Amino acid sequence: MRKSMTEEQLLQHMIDYYEKNKVAPTTRTLKLFLKEKELACNTFRFGGFNELLAKANIPLNKATKVRTIEEISSFIKEYYKEKKESPSIRKMHQYLSNRGIKATLAHPTYPTWNELLGIAGVPLLKETFTKEEIIDLLKRDYKDKKVPPSFSSWQGRDGFPNPTTVVKYFGSWNQALRVAGIPLNQENDKYSDLELLNMIREFFNKYNRIPFKDELALDRSVFIRRFGSWKDAIIEAGFIPNSQSSFGALYYSNHGDLRPSTLEGLVDDFIHNRTQVPHKHDVPYNTFFVTNRQFDIDFVIKDKWLIECAGMLTEEDFYDNFAKLDKITQDYKEKIKLKMEIVENARKEGNFTGEFIVLFHQQKLKNINNYLSNKLAIMIQDINNNFDGVPVSIPKTGRVVKPSEKLQKYTDEQLIEILHKLAKELDRKPKLSDLRLKGYPTQKTYLKRCKWSIWLKRAGFES
């Protein structure tokens, strides 16, 4: 069997490249250089590429300049004056690129993008939408284009909510069109909800497991368009997502989040126990990177730390180019590699200066805390030192969802929407005791996820 390349051997090849070409290699040029020698090596197993260059005493590739907040603010003002609209990060990158200016717009020392827009004195980008606003946008879109809006046409579209948000509000994309009084797209309406769900059920009856996303005759986008996500379609069909897959069962974290795998749930527990700092789940990659890939980041903390949970792979199998894997696991491995490549390319171009961490499946879950303590030590220290993170006094552990158990009734977005509804009815900021009113979620439903004061902040009632 072919042996894996050691770090010392890789560094020597990098030095050979530098001496031959008089410029520092990139991940791509080094890969081609090794290919000429009939060699191959995944550099990610040894850490960041710039760290390897430093170890080889090779001058680092010129990084994109980190601008001051005043400079970024000036660029935003110029864009707004010329375009008569507030820029998104993607539009701002394109605008500066067209002018030959390289600048990172998401440095950890910067405030959020909307805060930068506020500093520049231009209107903020719309972040949340009410049902009424969504209906108005659907009607306007239909009037402008003369065809019913589709789920895919709203993906990544500036000034419009994410289509999955629409599905969460209305139950399905077609239902949103019905409420707006828009005729349904014939292609979308070819199958009823029941027919789509029965396809999942028939697969389960035949193979005694739930299908993976690409195993049905219909493209998964049909299910996502109708139900909001593949996971929601599986739940609607009456099954626990991934309960028969290598990810493991669904998991309720210790602060009430529902995660699609045991690994993600344990990571969620660990981050909350060590910091109590709010974090985001399932954030699209194109929020941080210029990519057309429909990938999601499992955890985002303070827009600086991005965590990917590779729950179907051990670290050994991932870095072993000759590991014997089934097709599904091999495809999953390639997907993780592609995600890492997107991050590395953005870092090389200076468009990403945060930290990206990949966590792998552990054979012995009893050792998971030691594994996470080693992998996330720097992140935890940074959060607690710079972002007011505080460990919990008594660490808690979440639990695996039993197949017979009912799933979480409300999403966080739905609970926030209920608070807005309650405030409108009472004509004041809601109190915890108001949840005793008939027809509302219980106090426990809110408090098992986070403190009441945090809910009020999330809903915009407190700054």
Sole residue written with tokens 């199998």: 317
CA distance 429 to 431: 7
CA distances from 385 to 5, 219, 275, 302, 356 (A): 38, 46, 10, 13, 19
With beta carbons less than 8 A apart as the criterion, state whether 363 and 314 touch: yes
CA distance 210 to 230: 11
Q: CA 290, 293, 294 angle in degrees (round to 5)?
A: 115
The pLDDT value given to residue 398: 84
Average the pLDDT over 374-400 and give the result: 83
Full 3-state SS string of 255-267 = CCCEECCHHHHHH
The pLDDT value given to residue 245: 36
Q: How confident is the model at residue 110 (pLDDT cuts 50, 70, 90)?
A: low
Q: How confident is the model at residue 43 (pLDDT cuts 50, 70, 90)?
A: confident
User: pLDDT tens, 174-190?
Assistant: 888 888 988 876 555 57
Least Cα distance to 342 among 303, 287, 281 occurs for 287
Confidence (pTM): 0.42
Lay out the sheet containing 258-259: strands in order across.
258-259, 251-252, 399-400
* Average pLDDT over all residues of the chain: 78
- Checking if the pLDDT of 461 tops 80, the result is yes
Residue scoring higher pLDDT (375 or 188) = 375
Average the pLDDT over 273-297 and give the result: 84
With beta carbons less than 8 A apart as the criterion, state whether 250 and 258 touch: yes
Q: What percent of the chain has pLDDT over 90?
A: 4
